[in-house]
Amino acid sequence: MRVISGEARGRSLKAVKGNRTRPTTDKVKESIFNIIGPYFDGGMVLDLYSGSGGLGIEALSRGMEFAVFIDRSKQAFDVIQENVRLCRYEPKSEIYRNDVSRAIFLLAKREMQFNLIFMDPPYADQQIKKDIQALIKGQLFKDDSLIVIEHDTSISLPDSFEGHLNLWKRNDYHGKTAVSIYVFESGKEKLSE
């Protein structure tokens, strides 16, 4: 596992040991960033179910200004801290060991909003719809924010959540991995293909 592009390109990242955390493969990660835009000019990223923190770190390397990492596992929390330190992103990061539902509530209380949200829940523990509803209720999206959800190919997500979070693209990859990308729109023109 490594940082693919940007200022930390080529930096190796530690993985969480065991089979409870499934890291996003480099191939899928590269595909995600090719779709959402290879580089960013600032903005904030939220990495839910962070695991090793690879997606949030990749976004920082490609130009995001700040990242918030959430994972409830102590082992994952320790690995994220180590990877953030290895990439020298401590000043640009907050890392929390917390349940995602509770973390969303706390971020909403702080009135935080994000340009990009990654959600990579364990395939065996799908809470995608519940988490998305909480993100919308907590007003954690900015206009044109993207949410990238990695999930099992057997999971069928709706085309829209509450009329404002609309499916932009879905790609299926070899094996059991699918990625659905939604854009948050509060009345602006829809993102074109």
What digits encode the pLDDT tens for the residues 8-46? 999 999 998 865 566 677 888 999 999 998 899 999 999
- Whether the CB-CB separation of 64 and 43 falls below 8 Å is answered with yes
Give the DSSP letter of residue 52: T
- Whether the CB-CB separation of 131 and 102 falls below 8 Å is answered with no
Six-digit token pair at 57?
A: 């770190």
Segments in the chain below pLDDT 50: 188-193
- What's the pLDDT score for residue 100? 94
| CA pair distance 6, 159, nearest whole angstrom | 32
Indicate the pTM of the whole model: 0.91
Closest listed residue to residue 119, CA positions, set 175, 48, 182: 48
- What's the pLDDT score for residue 162? 84
Closest listed residue to residue 25, CA positions, set 177, 172, 153: 177
- What's the pLDDT score for residue 126? 63
- What's the pLDDT score for residue 125? 55
Beta-bridge partner residues of 183:
146, 166
